[in-house]
């Protein structure tokens, strides 16, 4: 794949950071030692993307290179390496479907099938109305509740074909389901609920109640003495 496949054909003629982002950029750059300001490239790319409807135009790459004293190609290398940065416009709802082994073993193929059935798109494509884009990505770091789909900034976990269908319907109506596990799992607990932690919980409850009753008995003995 060449860089021409990665970046949008149609590019804006200019890009200027908003005054709010200019102020944020100063704070971000100040976090790094003098001469190491190139380390701010990732947060600046993120700001540019958020300001520009979730994609980064080439003029923003140039602006960031200028701000950080970097070669443009170095900024572009970073932006094209990470799937979290979009170099082309994406839909209002950008679905990042994890296809790495834990998610694959837990049914990510069914999720991809559901997206194709309901939206008619596969990885790298957008719907004609510009509402949805989908991209298959590597591990999103939430394997414990696999399979995962990230929608813009939100994670949806424990999905299957039916729950993905419901999620797509909710997004189509602009009333997204609450983020998190669609099965209501708390944190990364087992699907059957807490196991060893339950025992720890009951032990600690017993300990607390024993301390409380000892305190009561000490108080009543002291009262009896006085």
Sites of contact with ligand FES (CB under 6 A): 98, 100, 102-103, 139-143, 146, 148
Q: At its nearest, how many Å lie between ligand FES and the CB of residue 115?
A: 16
Q: Cα–Cα distance between 48 and 56 in angstroms, integer?
A: 6
Question: Which H or E run includes 125?
Answer: strand 125-126
For ligand FES, the closer CB: 45 or 146: 146
Q: At its nearest, how many Å lie between ligand FES and the CB of residue 144?
A: 8
Q: At its nearest, how many Å lie between ligand FES and the CB of residue 139?
A: 3
For ligand FES, the closer CB: 65 or 140: 140
For ligand FES, the closer CB: 141 or 193: 141
Beta partners for residue 134, in sequence order: 95, 125
For ligand FES, the closer CB: 57 or 147: 147
Q: At its nearest, how many Å lie between ligand FES and the CB of residue 149?
A: 10
Looking at the chain, the number of H-run helices and the number of E-run strands are 9, 6
DSSP string, 159-212: --HHHHHHHHHHHHTT-PPPSEETT---TT--TT--SHHHHHHHHHHHHHHHHH
């Amino acid at each position: 794949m060449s860089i021409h496949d990665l970046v949008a054909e149609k590019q804006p003629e200019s890009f200027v950071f908003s005054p709010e982002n200019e102020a944020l950029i100063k704070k971000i750059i100040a976090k790094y030692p003098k001469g190491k300001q190139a380390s701010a490239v990732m947060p600046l790319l993120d700001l540019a993307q958020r300001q520009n409807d979730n994609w980064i135009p080439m003029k923003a790459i140039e602006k960031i290179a200028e701000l950080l004293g970097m070669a443009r190609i170095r900024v572009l290398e970073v932006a094209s390496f990470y799937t979290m940065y979009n170099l082309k416009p994406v839909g209002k709802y950008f679905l990042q479907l994890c296809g790495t082994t834990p998610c694959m073993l837990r049914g990510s193929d069914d999720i991809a099938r559901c997206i194709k059935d309901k939206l008619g798109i596969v990885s790298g494509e957008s719907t004609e109305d510009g509402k949805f884009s989908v991209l298959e990505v590597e591990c999103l770091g939430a394997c414990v509740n696999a399979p995962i789909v990230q929608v813009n900034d939100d994670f949806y976990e424990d999905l299957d074909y039916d729950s993905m269908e419901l999620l797509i319907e909710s997004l189509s109506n602009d009333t997204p389901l609450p983020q998190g596990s669609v099965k209501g799992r708390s944190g990364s607990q087992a699907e059957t609920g807490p196991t060893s932690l339950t025992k720890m919980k009951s032990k600690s409850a017993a300990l607390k109640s024993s301390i409380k009753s000892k305190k009561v008995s000490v108080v009543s003995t002291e009262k009896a003495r006085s």
